[in-house]
Structure 1
Amino acid sequence: MESPERARLDAFFRSIVQQFPAGGMATTLVVTHLLSERPAFLRALAQVSVVGAVLPKPRSIHQPTLDEVRNTFTVHDLPRELFADPSQALDYVEDIAAGRDLVLLDIGGYFAPSLSTLVEKFSGRILGVVEDTENGHQRYEALEDLPCPVISVARSPLKDCEDHLVGRSIVFSTEALVRGRGDILTSRNACVIGFGKVGRAIAQTLRALDLRVTVYDKNPVRQVQAHSLGFRTCASAADAVREAELVLCATGNLALQQSDFAALRNGAYLGSVTSSEDELELGSLHDLYQRTPIGQQLTRYEITGHYFYVLADGGAVNFVHGAAVGSYIHLVQAEILAATAALGHDQFRPGMHEMAASDRHAIARAWLNHFER
């Protein structure tokens, strides 16, 4: 990041911190993508909390950024197993923040399996969780009784800009990987599984590139929405992928199971918008299919009579090229900062919450002042 850009970004975050002062210096555990713009957010977070540890998502680490962040913050590895086992999670949290107020910043519901144990047994106090993604939102929402506040920014209007551009970046990276092996996407049959905000952006971008797009979403309302926009729809994921030469999964949950892979057309390209363990049951194929790397971020899966290609090992395709969505990402980061500060004021009861519209308006005005004027 160039010096003028860094100065403008730091000024934006200072204005957010001033508008949303913390109720106290709680400790934060930060699950995050560690990309080139993230240090500025972490510097701002350190103004409203004590950053206990940064936990980078394994498939979205930019090495120079990791080196930079390690100079200032404690950085730990993030296996999903760490918080899947409540007793292991409790030991970890005690090591980081024993006896303190703690806010958990999440991307993907990592803390959900152990949240009840943490709230009940942690020697300090879990003030709440701030969740950034739709799949994480769903994981917390699925808990029978939330023991603390969970503020989700996943469905915030401020995230709409990011989601739209994430969809476009997914297609950009997919096309770049396909072109890398001398192939093109134009005029192909494509399938998008999941028609949320990101899936819709992917489908619309693919259509603009002259692909024929089929959509499948298990939610019938979204199926109707896709149909109303002129996309072909199917009754099952297997039916949707059968004729597709490109399949992109954007559900935030398990999109394709073992039985669905057999329906893939020979030579089809398969990619995901999120973590492979969330979207694709690829592990079930490892004893059945021979896997051969054939180029940058491209793996051929083959058994007798059937083969297809997996992009980026099934991880988020856009992270191959840094997942850049411009300054719009800072809208969501600012809302996360505001939510972290709000949890310090004990403003929320246990349950799912979102920030007030007035708070989002203030963030949007600050963004316009710093990035568009």
Structure 2
Amino acid sequence: MEQFEVARLDAYFARIAATFAPTARPASFLITHLLPERPSFVRGIGTATDLRVVLPKPKSISPAARRVIEKTTQCDTLTRDMFEDTDTAVEYVESRAAGQDVVLCDVGGYFSPALDALCDRFSGRILGVVEDTENGHRRYADRDKLPCPVVSVARSPLKDPEDYLVGQSVVFSTEALMRTRGDILQGRHALVIGFGKLGSSIARLLHAKGVRVVVHDIDPVRRTQALSQGFDVARDRDAALNEAGVVLCATGSLSLRGEDFATLRNGAYVGTVTSSEDELDLAALPQVYERTPDGDHITRYKTTGHYFYLLNNGNAVNFLHGASVGPFIFLVQAEILAAIRMLTRGDLGHGMHEVAPADRATIAGIWLDYFNRH
């Protein structure tokens, strides 16, 4: 980013942090995609809270951004395992914020497995969680009982522009990788698994490129939505996998099991919008497949009579090209700061919550002041 762009972004987050200043300044843990523009957001979190540690998502770390953050804030290595074991999770949070009021800023439900133990055994107090993604939203919402408030921005209308543009970046990166092998999208049927915000965006963008799109979703309501928008909906999932030349997985949970890969047609490309551990059961893929690199970020899986191509090792394909959605991401990041203030008030019950419409309108107004160029 140019220096003037960084200065404008810092000014924007300073104003957001001042507008949504918490009633008390809690400690915080921040899980985030550490992309090139992210330091300004991190500084905003550091203004509103006592930011104890940044935990970058492993597959989306800009080395330059990390160097900037590490000048002022501890950066630790994030794994699913560190919060799967409750003893390890409690010990880790104690090591960073013993005795403090803490807000956990999450991207993908990482804190969910240990949340009960953290609320019960941590020497301080967990004020709550702010969750950014649909996948994480479901991880918290599907629990029988939550031990603290969880404020989700995953379904906010301020996230709609981001979701649309993420879908666009997924299609761009998929085709860019295919072109390195001399292939293009046109002439191939595409199967989009999952017709939520991202999946529907991907389907529309593929259709706009003249690609025939088939949709599969386990939710019958979403299947009717896909039909109403002019897409074919798979009656038989295996048949759809066998016909598709491109398969894009956008469920945020398990899209393809180990046995599903044998159903893919020869030469199919498989890509995802999130991490391989969420979308693809690669560990269960039969060991008979020989894996060989086929250009940058493409792996050819081959066994007798069958082969397919996996993009970016099954991780979010758009992160190969920066996953940029422009300044619209700053709307959602501002809403995270508004959610932190909600948690510090102490008046939320245990369960799922959203930022108030009036606060979203305030955020949108501030954003327009800084990023509407006309």
> TM-score scaled by structure 2?
0.98
> Residue 263 of structure 2: SS of its match in structure 1?
coil
Contact map agreement 1:237 1:256 (CA 8 A) in 2? no
Does residue 1:239 correspond to 2:266, yes or no?
Answer: no
How far apart, CA to CA, are the structure 2 residues paired with 1:207 and 1:104? 39
Task: Map 1:55-66 onto structure 2 (within 5 A).
Answer: 55-66=55-66
Task: Map 1:1-373 onto structure 2 (within 5 A).
Answer: 1-285=1-285, 287-373=287-373
> Residue 139 of structure 2: SS of its match in structure 1?
helix
How far apart, CA to CA, are the structure 2 residues paired with 1:187 and 1:359? 46
The alpha carbon displacement at 1:79 in A equals 1.2
How far apart, CA to CA, are the structure 2 residues paired with 1:20 and 1:237? 47
How far apart, CA to CA, are the structure 2 residues paired with 1:220 and 1:276? 25
Q: Provide, for residues 338-364 of structure 1, a one-character-per-residue CA deviation record: whole Å limited to 9, x for no partner.
A: 111221111311100000000101000
The alpha carbon displacement at 1:259 in A equals 2.0
> Residue 295 of structure 1: SS of its match in structure 2?
coil
Q: Provide, for residues 39-82 of structure 1, a one-character-per-residue CA deviation record: whole Å limited to 9, x for no partner.
A: 00001111110111100111011111111111121000011100
Letter in 1 for 2:328: Y
Contact map agreement 1:23 1:342 (CA 8 A) in 2? no
Contact map agreement 1:193 1:237 (CA 8 A) in 2? no
The alpha carbon displacement at 1:286 in A equals 5.8
Letter in 1 for 2:101: D
> TM-score scaled by structure 1?
0.98
The alpha carbon displacement at 1:143 in A equals 1.3
How far apart, CA to CA, are the structure 2 residues paired with 1:71 and 1:139? 33
How far apart, CA to CA, are the structure 2 residues paired with 1:248 and 1:237? 14
Of all paired residues, the percent bearing the same amino acid is 55
Letter in 2 for 1:251: T
How far apart, CA to CA, are the structure 2 residues paired with 1:60 and 1:31? 11
Structure 1 unmatched runs, 5+? none
Contact map agreement 2:35 2:62 (CA 8 A) in 1? yes
Aligned length: 373
Which aligned segments of 4 or more residues in structure 1 are displaced greater than 2 angstroms? Answer: 235-240
RMSD over aligned CA atoms reads: 1.0
Larger CA deviation: 214-223 vs 65-74: 65-74
Letter in 2 for 1:331: L
The alpha carbon displacement at 1:240 in A equals 2.3
How far apart, CA to CA, are the structure 1 residues paired with 2:236 and 2:153? 30
How far apart, CA to CA, are the structure 2 residues paired with 1:37 and 1:171? 22
The alpha carbon displacement at 1:236 in A equals 4.4
Structure 2 unmatched runs, 5+? none
How far apart, CA to CA, are the structure 2 residues paired with 1:347 and 1:316? 37
